[in-house]
Each structure stands twice: as structure tokens, then as C-alpha cells.
Chain A
Amino acid sequence: MSKPKVFEKPSGMKDYLPGAVTRLRSIESRVLACMEKWGYRQIMTPTLEYYDTVGVTSATSDRKLFKLLDNRGTTLVMRSDMTTPIARVIASLLKDEPLPIRLAYHASVFRAIEEEAGRDAEFYQTGVELVGDPSPDADAEVIALTVASLQAAGITHFKLAMGHQGLLNGLLQEWLQDRPDAQEQLKERLLARDYVGYRRVIRGLDVSAEVQAKLEGILELRGGKEVCSKVSEYTSDESTRAAIHDLCEIWEALSAYGVQEHAMIDLTMIGNFSYYTGMIFEAYSAELGFPVASGGRYDNLLQQFGRPAPATGFALKTTRILDILGAGEEQAKRVLIAYVPEQRREAYQLAAGLRERDGYAVETRCLGSGVSGQSPEQTAEGKLAYMGKMYDEIILLAGEDGGERDE
């Protein structure tokens, strides 16, 4: 590769300019405030983790991890998600705190990208983890909080699709016993969202027509409560039935939360992260081509850090939400106090007074110091005309009586 030009950044890395930062901070604070109201306390974890602990456990594929060496030659990773570091903290620093534990975070995560734009290598997530509660109510809480968080962020029109990893695994295991290879192939096709390939794999399988029909039927299992009852007819296996019961209970709880209207069941959903074990879901907004939130239950992750516990959670893709929500946030009133050196004291006092009030951003500038840079020869009046475009209000302190002028 040729030497980068001075303005270039590593691919997938982004600068956030003042307008965008204002909006990002505003989304972040509203969403975190919402999460706090549900009892989730904020946590921060380091940007760098060991490759052998969090890196390996994170379920991010190796080639997507940013790796580096520390001064002793140990391999480190830039965190690729927040779920794994939080699992580490709960199993270590918080190991004496009783479960369930509710934690919230807003942080940037890092994933090396292969393709072009649209995928940031560093992006912000705002999310929660609910650790130590195996109940369907906990899963429903996480989904209901996703809805509340999206609304707090300012997104009104959205949908959620919910699947169940345990249920899908159970059905495939029951119908394709002793055929782990076929199970893997089918799951791989579903993960690739390749329904054509999925049907083709089924047709190539040496199984009864009945099983083929059932396998193909999974593609049609979309909708609401009727999916639960329909899929119950599909199985006699004990643990699969338990998974179905779990899914139905979550669905009922969503109704009790009053958020069912946003949700639908789709059994073809497969979590991108291999640590998911139960319910999984994604949220979509009409204004964006990519999901705006995702989450699910991961009951086996904590035990890898030595404190076995069921867990569930979600993350909002805050950077993507930023793309959806345009400007329109109320901004502080920008005020400039321009003064001559003799009135410095009054100017500073006036500025201090205004800064005490809400909704003011106050700058001061000494006239005659030539700060405007481009045209130091201009008269004070000329400068003011130019500055009038940048400020909501300009206060001029340049006379015996400290005359005031509004723009």
C-alpha cells in the first residue's frame, strides 16, 4: 500500500464533527437514562483485553479482531463486543455480588472490516446485560427495554423479529439425529440467509418426505402466537417442548408489556454470535438498511469465566441510529461577547452570568486583537457582519456606555 495521505484514517475509522457529536451524546444520554430507570447501572471496561481470555471467548471471528502485542509480547485485542468483557467482570470483580445483576454500557467496539463503507471498524453500542435470571420474563424485559430505548433515542417506526436458538437446534437435532453434518449445513444456510440453498440442502438429504416437509416448513414459521402452537405439533422431544414453552411465555410477557405489536416470531433467525443459546432478536427501522439493535440469551458464556450463570441482553447500534436521526436537536443559543480591552472585566462578568443560565454557549473575543484571522485589516463593524452568521446573538462592549447590539 502506498503511504497514506495526511488526511486519511485507517479504513473504517471515523471522525465525529461537532453537530454529530451533539446528537450522539444526546441519544446516548437519553438511552442510558432510560436504562437506569429500569435498574441497570452503568459500567465501563477497558478498550484492550487479552486475546486468550476475552478475545477467544468473544465469538468474533479471528480475522475480524484487531490484535496487537503489548511490551512483553502478549497478544491483546481491541474489544469486539461488550458482552464478553462484562461477563469477565461479573465472574471476577463482582463475583460476590448476588445475582441477578443488571448492567448498562455505552462504549465503542472494534471489528476489522473486509468490505467498503457502511461498516465502521469502530462503532458505538449502548446496551444492557441481565445476568442470573433464566426466566422468559427476563428475556421479555430485555426486549421491552429495547423498545423503550429505541423510543428514547427518538425512533418511532420499528419492528422486532424474534427467534429461538435452542428451539431451532432442538428441532434439527430431533429430525436429523446422527446427522450433525446436515444440521450444520442447514444452520449455515440459514445464517447466510440463503433460503434457496436451504431448500436445496433439504432436497439432497436422504430423509423421509415428512421430515423434508417439516424442515421446509421452518421457513414459513413466521408471525405471532399461532407460530407457537403450530410448532408444538412438530415435536415430541422433551427439551424442544421446553424451548417452545419458553418462546410462548416470552411472547405472552411481551403482550403484558404492551410491546407485542412491534414484534414477530421468525424461527429462521440465527444469532451472529455463537454464544447465543435461547431467544435471539433483531430490531429494524424503515429508514435504515441494517438492523438498529440485536440481542439474545447466552446461558453458557459466564461459565467460561468460572461463574456459570444464565444471561440475556441487547445492544443498540448507536452509530446507526445517528444516521437515521437527522438534525433538529435543540441546540444551545450561541452568544458572542465582543469587547474592547478597556471593558474586559465587564465582558467576562456578563459571560459568566449568561453561562450560569441553561441553554447558552458563550464565547468572548477581544476586538482589535485580529482573531478573525482571514481579514485582520477589517473594521470592527465588518468583522461583526461576518460573525453575525455564526452566532445567534452578538453583544458588543465597545464604548463608554457599553452599547449592546443584537443580531
Chain B
Amino acid sequence: MSDRLKIAMPKGRIYKQASKLFREAGLPIPDEIDDTRKLIIEIPEAGMDFIMAKPVDVPTYVEYGAADVGVVGKDVLMEENRDVYELLDLGIARCRMSLIGLPDRKPGHTVRVATKYPNVASQYFRENGQQVEVIKLNGSIELAPLIGLADHIVDMVETGQTIRENGLVEIKTIFHITSRLIANRVSYRMKSGQIEALCKQLQRVIPGHELSGNQA
């Protein structure tokens, strides 16, 4: 077993910002790995291995200890509800989880909500004392209210452009999203020195210390 810290990194949108943050923190992450298609990237000079995972799978890798720590959006953490340490708000990939709908729609007898985040959506409505029918979709969620599949959607909003262009409105922000540094329960103890050092290095360069948003 390697003594290097195994870090589950989310492929795609968050990765670029995360690797930038790691570099700013002074970790020697080589530039060329940004474009590699390798799934396990060894970075012995930084004492770590990157495991390139689909973002929704990052908490799973970490919970089972396949990775020691991981970088993942709060949206995924809320939806997956895994037993991991949430150590740091990295302040990157800032966006929000919102309730979205047509501007003047009167819901019918049963309210139907389409989403990629069924757990987040049902929890939100339950806390608001409303029983709704949640429909799980895998993409192009904005279609659902437009073609009458659902009354509302719950989805992640970054700029809101897609919403506006499709004539939809943000009814309410459910919570704010940033990426988080998470850790496995055992690694957090067994590799506490390495993980704490990583936290300290990252903490120094985390953008925007005032953190907006609420906590569900």
C-alpha cells in the first residue's frame, strides 16, 4: 500500500479550478496532467496520487477508503449523503441549487418536480411541509416544465443563462454550492499528518473568506 495520499478528483468542470487551487497552494502539480486521459495519476513529487472520477462518485470512493480524500461539490454531498469528513470549503466552482419554474404556472392537483437530485428535492419539499412527486431525469432538466412533464425543476444554477433563454425563472435558492475537501473516516486518523498539512496549505489560498449561503 502506498503512503501517498490518494485524492479523488472530479473530472470536468471542477477539476480545472481544483488543480489551479492546488498549484496556488504550492503543490507541484505538473501542467501536462490536465489533459491526460489516465485515470490514476501519480504525482510522487507532491506525495499524492490523483484518482480521476466522475464527480458523483467521488464521495463513494472516499467513503469506502478507495481514496483518502476527495474534492467534490456540495450538491453531490447533499444528494449522496455519504459518511465522510467534510473538512474544508474550497470556495471554488461557486453556484447554487435552485427551484425553477415557468413564471406564471399554477400547479395542478399533485405537484411534480423533475430533477437530477431526487434526495435534495424531496428533502427540500418535505421540510417545507409539501408532498410532491419527484421525477428523476439525467440531463436537460429545463425541458421538463416546458413540455409539461413537471411543474417545477430543482437544479444547479451557475449563471442562469439556460434558464433565462428558455423562459424559466428561479423561484428560490435552496442552498449555495461550492466544492469541498472531504476525507475518509480512517484516513483522517491514519494519515492525519498529511491531511492536516494539505488543509493548511489549501486554507491559505481559498478565495473569498466570507462564505455566503445557508446550510440545509
- Are A289 and B66 closer than 8 Å at their CB atoms? yes
* Cβ distance A82 to chain B, nearest Cβ, rounded Å: 22
| Across-interface contacts of A193 in B (CB, < 8 A) | 83-86, 185
* Cβ distance A48 to chain B, nearest Cβ, rounded Å: 28
- Are A289 and B1 closer than 8 Å at their CB atoms? no
A12 on interface, CB distance cutoff 8 Å: no
- Are A159 and B85 closer than 8 Å at their CB atoms? no
Question: Complex: how many Å from CA A195 to CA B87?
Answer: 5
B111 on interface, CB distance cutoff 8 Å: no
A353 on interface, CB distance cutoff 8 Å: no
Question: Complex: how many Å from CA A201 to CA B186?
Answer: 25
Contact partner, A289, options B85, B87, B88, B186, Cβ 8 Å:
B186
* Cβ distance B60 to chain A, nearest Cβ, rounded Å: 9
How many chain A residues have a CB neighbour from B under 8 Å? 23
Contact partner, B89, options A196, A284, A285, A290, Cβ 8 Å:
A196
| Across-interface contacts of A101 in B (CB, < 8 A) | none
Mask: chain A, 136-164; 1 = CB below 8 Å from B; 0 = not = 00000000000000000000000101000
Contact partner, B85, options A195, A264, A284, A288, Cβ 8 Å:
A195
Dominant secondary structure at the A interface = mixed
* Cβ distance A251 to chain B, nearest Cβ, rounded Å: 17
| Across-interface contacts of B213 in A (CB, < 8 A) | 200
Mask: chain B, 189-203; 1 = CB below 8 Å from A; 0 = not = 110100000000000
Mask: chain A, 189-211; 1 = CB below 8 Å from B; 0 = not = 00011111101110100000000
Smallest Cβ-Cβ distance to A200: which chain B residue: B215
| Across-interface contacts of B64 in A (CB, < 8 A) | 118, 289
Number of interchain pairs (Cβ within 8 Å): 57
Mask: chain B, 80-101; 1 = CB below 8 Å from A; 0 = not = 0001111111000000000000
Question: Complex: how many Å from CA A194 to CA B185?
Answer: 12
Known: A200-B215, A201-B215, A287-B1. A194 touches B189 (CB 8 A): no
Contact partner, B186, options A194, A195, A285, Cβ 8 Å:
A285
B211 on interface, CB distance cutoff 8 Å: yes
Question: Complex: how many Å from CA A189 to CA B1?
Answer: 32
Contact partner, B189, options A195, A201, A264, Cβ 8 Å:
A264
| Across-interface contacts of B192 in A (CB, < 8 A) | 222, 264
In the complex, besides A284-B189, A287-B1, 4 extra interface pairs with C-beta distance below 8 angstroms are A197-B215, A200-B213, A201-B215, A222-B192
11 interchain pairs, CB-CB under 8 A: A118-B63, A159-B189, A193-B185, A194-B86, A195-B86, A201-B215, A286-B186, A286-B190, A289-B65, A290-B65, A291-B186
> Chain A residues in contact with chain B, CB under 8 A?
118, 159, 161, 192-197, 199-201, 203, 222, 264, 284-291
